[in-house]
A and B are shown apart, each in its own frame.
Chain A
Amino acid sequence: MNDLIHAIDTIPFGEMIVRAECADERAVREILRKEHRDRWDLAVLLSPAANHLLEEVARAAADLTAQRFGRTIRLYAPLYLSNECVNVCTYCGFRRDNDVARSTLNADQIRSEARYLSAQGFRNILLVSGEHPKWVNQDYLCEAVRITRELVPQVAIEVQPLTTPGYEATVKAGADGVVVYQEVYDREHYASYHTHGPKKDYDDRLLAASRAADAGVRRLGIGTLLGLAPWREEILALATHAAHLYRRFGQTEISFSFPRIREAAGAIEPRYQVNDRQLLQMMCALRLVFPDAGIVLSTREAPSLRDGLSRIAVTMMSAGSRTEPGGYEHPDESEKQFEIEDHRTPAEVTAMLASQGIDPVWKDWEEALHG
């Protein structure tokens, strides 16, 4: 059996949650003093006791973030290629049984969206798409990467899981990053939300990041959608996934995202709400266990929360995002994947960062690093 699947399927959740529930403040403080922390420590950092000590935990996390990443935050922008999709993920506005305006950008449209983002200052673009074998196939994706790379040095993709040769082709086309969230690590919940289409295959999705790393992808983004399953277990599983990737692919940079589900047209309401305080707690906990991991924050969160989180553990942010294909040049003509909460322009977001003593970093990549 595959190592990663085995690792995920044998997480001792019961004992870990007991560890978290029994932890007292002394246990939390002891972990804050440690130099290296493991997943049992993570469980304690996700405990009610740690939540109670959140100010102390956040200070430790903020210090560690500053040490490793400096007083900087990297900026990126998503570029939606297509909202065609053959899957039904019941939380998503693009699900195939939703009757919404669909579109797929052609080469000229991709170029003009990328040019728009580049003019705003972005040097790091995330190409996002629904899954559609006809409209968004391997050739299309490679072409999209090539076009975008003509305008910015750093391109990642957030699309359906590809095969290893598929990832190799995108690396060759110029992508250096792959983002593929498991969405829900709990298998039963996973099955209940992913009802039709290739995305029903949990294992294939779980192994996608490993295939990407095998193919030479340098930056991996993994994550879980908060609101779909109990959050402590989801974060423990995410950490197990990361620990596996760190062990197997030491050369790869890993970043975490855990967006909270937002309402979208024709999608379900989240069943397992996570409040702001818990969101901060899990960010701090992951920072303290994975000092070098990136933590990504999208415009799904509200401005005041984004401003606060950016001082503690976040290393990468989007700004001024549109979540519909063609949305930068032609807003509101297609259906959005979800509603964003932070509508500030990139200039406003960077001004906010500067006012908090954070240097916004637009470019952190060089063509010459493409192997």
Chain B
Amino acid sequence: MHREDPLIIAGRSFQSRLLLGTGKFASHQQMAEAAEVSGAEIVTMALRRVDPGANQGNILDLLDPEQYLFLPNTSGARNADEAVRLARLARAGGISDWIKLEVTPQPSHLLPDSVETLRATEILVKEGFTVLPYMQADPILAKQLAGAGAATVMPLGAPIGTNRGLQTRDAIALILQEAEIPVIVDAGLGAPSHAAEALEMGADAVLVNTAIATAEDPVAMAKAFRLGCVAGRLAYLAGRPAARASAEASSPLTGFLGES
């Protein structure tokens, strides 16, 4: 959309503010079509699903690596050590040294472990990875992760796969107020209006998988999310009144009072 309004992550510039998860689609073909229509430039995939020897091909075979940045995730890792091992594997396999860090000790709800996520981020950043951690919507943790060298923070909107939208809205607003790195809302966004809401608030991007992949028509839903993101970002840039409350006003209403 806005050539003049790129999303910049670790020095790389992207036009789209929608990241697409690939794990839940009915077929590789359908995922590829949805990716195309969504306008996404970053697609995530689970390292544990990657199989170089697969008879039936891998999920990303149909995607052009020139068009997309493949962002492997560490899904399945229950602690920092497992996540770090997965990340090293991705690098050794020539897949990527960008890593979407997921450390989820409990298979139900898949909530991220804050302590282990921070620890893994520290290790991986030292090893030269570009780390995008999935995290609880916790403003303090966001600062700590940024301090550890994370390229973005990815707070959850609601537990993965619940489609419940921005349940963590207030905490995300606090993260946004102080963020110096991009904030990507990940997990739980069930409708394009949720994505729009996140971007209206000033989130830099969103990541969506379940809501698109499990829609009756995933390709149409991918388009709807693309438009939701565009609308949300435009609204943010246009200075939606409620959003401005926490942003700096361009000409202060009380400026006439002078310094006291």
Residues of A within 8 A of B (CB): 66-72, 120-121, 123, 246, 250-253, 291-292, 350, 354, 357-369, 371
Contacts and interface: CB of A to CB of B under 8 A. Distances in A.
A112 B25 CA distance: 34
A263 to B, nearest CB: 34
Nearest to A68: B161
Contacts of B210: 67, 70
A359 B107 contact: no
B36 to A, nearest CB: 18
Given A359-B27, A363-B54, A365-B48, A246 B76 contact: no
A70 B48 contact: no
Contacts of B76: 365-366, 369
A292 B107 contact: yes
B163 A362 contact: no
Nearest to B87: A368
Contacts of B82: 368-369, 371
A364 B48 contact: yes
Given A251-B107, A292-B108, A358 B161 contact: no
Contact of B78 (A72, A251, A291, A361): A251
B246 interface: no
Contact of A67 (B26, B54, B214): B214
Nearest to A219: B107
8 contacts: A66-B214, A250-B105, A251-B107, A357-B26, A359-B25, A363-B51, A368-B88, A369-B82
Given A70-B210, A71-B214, A369-B77, A357 B54 contact: no
A252 B54 contact: no
B26 A71 contact: yes
Contacts of A72: 23-24, 26
- The 6 lowest CB-CB distance pairs between A and B, nearest first, are A70-B24, A368-B85, A71-B26, A357-B26, A363-B51, A292-B108
Nearest to B106: A250
Contacts of A354: 27
Given A70-B213, A123-B51, A292-B107, A360 B56 contact: yes
A36 to B, nearest CB: 11
Interface string B183-216: 0000000000000000000000000011001100
Interface string B19-51: 000011111100000000000000000111111
Interface in B213-248: 213-214
* Interface of B: prevailing SS: loop
A345 B213 CA distance: 28
A252 B81 CA distance: 17
B162 interface: yes
Given A123-B51, A368-B85, A359 B26 contact: yes
B25 A350 contact: no
A292 B213 contact: no
A121 B54 CA distance: 7
A363 B23 contact: no
Contacts of B81: 371
Q: Which of A251, A359, A371 has the most CB of B within 10 A?
A: A359
Q: Which of A69, A362, A369 has the most CB of B within 10 A?
A: A369
B89 interface: yes
B85 A357 contact: no
B126 interface: no
Contacts of A252: 107
A246 B107 CA distance: 10
B86 interface: yes
Contacts of B77: 369
B55 interface: yes
B3 to A, nearest CB: 34
B51 A67 contact: no
Contact of A357 (B23, B27, B47): B27
Contacts of A68: 161
A154 to B, nearest CB: 9
Contacts of B88: 368
A368 B27 contact: no
Contact of A362 (B46, B54, B78): B54
Nearest to B190: A67
A292 B109 contact: yes
Given A292-B109, A366-B89, A358 B26 contact: yes
Contacts of A253: 107
A70 B25 contact: yes
Contact of B163 (A67, A69, A350): A67
